[in-house]
Amino acid sequence: MANVVTEPGDETTLQRLIDAIGRDPQISFVVYGGNLKGSRETCADRLYDRRRALLDASRAPLIFVPGQRDWVTCGTAGAGGYDPVERLDFLRQNFFTDSTALGQYPLTLTRESEVSRFRPYRENTRWQLGETVFIALNVPDGNNHFLNAGGRNGEFEDRVIANGFWLEHAAEFARRRNARAIVIFMQGNAMPEQYERQDRFAWLRFRRTPRDGFTELRHSLVKLADVFRGPVILVHPENARLTHGFAIDQPLRNDKGIRIANVTRIAFSLRDPLTQWLQIDADMMRRTPLRVSVREVPEHLPLLPPQPPALLPGGNGEPALPEMPEISSMPDVTEIPGMQQAPDANGASGTNPVEDRGTSGGASAGTVTPAWPAPGSAP
């Protein structure tokens, strides 16, 4: 989910949404993909404190990904005229305080700040469940906070290096552990609407085009997909309206304009972010490894107390989530069969992917199975 809260009155509805998700025992973790405040809300400490408390009440582990409105646009008058970099530092100190996710159920994360060179970048995280490696990156909309004014783009340039390192590290981590897939969460849409080849003679036309703040990130993603040859899934919210709430495609290309076959994007733009969330059910051993669906909060769902019952030890020695009533209605599911592997040395590759632009269909409600094993510590 993302872009849920736009004004103080939405906080109760966000609490209800998080509560509804937490009732599903098959949910292993939740990702809030950015924009925890509205564009006209101030970036004051007290607002962030309230919103963090809402996220921290989640029964399932919750990973927060900073978005454009969370720090990039805090310099505007409507947001209070703050220094965006100072607000980003505040988020780092208050939302990413230790090596666990937000929420009531523990999920251990590895933060990039554990690398001495990248100590500030607490928001960039990695975790592993089963044979899938997950990455969260600070890549906001607003052209990735690239500033067109003259001078050095210090925050942008340093974060580009940090993000590139974290993706490179993730690729090597997944390759050495024989992971089956990498899933990357970010808030910004780093993919251009249409691929454009670099024009070596553009300077002759005396036209200045806006600098693309996502160029380096795309290069890093191409390198990651080359090192790790398995499926790479990129998930981010989308500002444009999507008919079915999400779209699936393969937009990443290298400098020669060749499509990167093992990178699949899931962009989502829910009709009503206050009552809907995107569920991604993954099992890399299935013929259709990914099943994507939009789920809704039942209209008459009662609000449970914010504090869940004490977690009891499970049969395998790990904490177990308390029993909670399930949501009876299940949505239509879009299946993504056989995501393509990167070509090998002979040019051979895996099964061709489906480039789904959001058409609903596929499995019935009874075919939806748990996404991952119970949350555990990332090695």
Q: What is the pLDDT of residue 289?
A: 82
Torsion-angle region of 309 (φ positive above 0: left; ψ -120 to 50: alpha; else: beta):
beta
- How far apart CA 208 and CA 179 sit, in angstroms, is 43
Rounded alpha-carbon distances, angstroms, from residue 200 to 196, 204, 257, 258 = 12, 9, 15, 19
Position 148 scores a pLDDT of 84
CA quadruple 234, 375, 23, 70: dihedral sign: negative
Q: Which long-range contacts (CB under 8 A, 24 or more apart) does 194-201 make?
A: 195/251, 195/253, 195/257, 197/257, 198/255
Q: Indicate the burial class of 323 (C-beta count within 10 angstroms; 0-12, 13-18, 19 or more).
A: exposed
HEC string for 115-161: CHHHCCCCCCEEEEECCEEEEECCCCCCHHHCCCCCCCCHHHHHHHH
Kindly give the confidence (pLDDT) of every residue in the chain, 379 residues in length, as a single tens digit, with 9 standing for 90 and above: 999 999 999 999 999 999 999 999 999 999 999 999 999 999 999 999 999 999 999 999 999 999 999 999 999 999 999 999 999 999 999 999 999 999 999 899 999 999 999 999 999 999 999 999 999 999 999 999 999 876 779 999 999 999 999 999 999 999 999 999 999 999 999 997 644 455 555 545 455 567 899 999 999 999 999 999 999 999 999 988 898 999 999 999 999 999 999 999 999 999 999 999 999 998 878 888 889 999 999 987 776 555 443 333 334 444 444 343 343 343 466 666 555 666 554 444 443 333 333 333 333 222 333 333 333 333 3
pLDDT of residue 313: 38
CA of residue 372 relative to chain centroid, distance:
17
Find the DSSP H helices in 177-317.
Answer: 215-227
pTM: 0.81
CB burial of residue 77 (10 Å; 0-12, 13-18, 19+): exposed
Q: How far is CA 371 from the centre of its chain?
A: 16
Q: What is the pLDDT of residue 299?
A: 83
Q: What is the pLDDT of residue 288?
A: 82
Domains and CATH numbers, the chain: 8-367 (3.60.21)
Which two structure tokens, joined as six digits, stand for 29? 């973790």
SS3 labels along 5-72? CCCHHHHHHHHHHHHHHHCCCCCCCEEECCCCCCCCCCCCHHHHHHHHHHHHCCCCCEEECCCHHHHH
